[in-house]
Amino acid sequence: MDAPPATDPGDGKRPVILLSHGFGGTARVMGWFGVAMSRQRCVVVAVDHPGNNALDPMTVPGAPLPWERVRDLRRALESALADKVIGPDINPRRVGLAGFSAGGVTALLGARARPDFAHFRRFCPSRPDDGVCQPQTELPISAEQPDAFFQDPAYAEVMRH
């Protein structure tokens, strides 16, 4: 646990993989992937997304805002780069994104994909049995709760983003 980072035979800097868990998951659940990437000499930075993880209370705002998960990863990268132990070993020009399930959406958004919530909101009424349209086991909310959230003036700025 307190071992120093292994030396890199190249320029001494390693690529970093930002890792995002699925809906209601945790960074630890993604350990299988993180360990595999670290064995490939990458620095792996993973987070437990606030309001959307298995360790903390799930929240309605934590569920429908995948771009906020990208901000979580950005902040984690900034922290890793500033860290006196691992920061010097990270090549900030070699950053990758990876994720599973909702974490995959996070990775796509981090690569500048654009969400289309209007399309999603039209999709589910026409396909109510699709798994993505069903209430999630981790946060069983009604269709009305996200609708109310999307209309809430308190979240207007984050929705414009």
pLDDT per residue over 103-154, tens digit each? 999 999 999 998 887 787 788 888 888 887 777 777 766 667 777 777 778 7
Delimit the domains of the chain by residue range. Answer: 14-116
Q: Which CATH number fits domain 14-116: 3.40.50.300, 3.40.50.150, 3.40.50.1820, 3.30.300.20?
A: 3.40.50.1820
Mean pLDDT of 13-33: 94
More confident residue, 111 or 161: 111
Alpha-carbon distances, residue 36 vs 45, 51, 88 (angstroms)? 13, 27, 22
Alpha-carbon distances, residue 149 vs 27, 60, 63, 64, 158 (angstroms)? 26, 8, 11, 9, 11
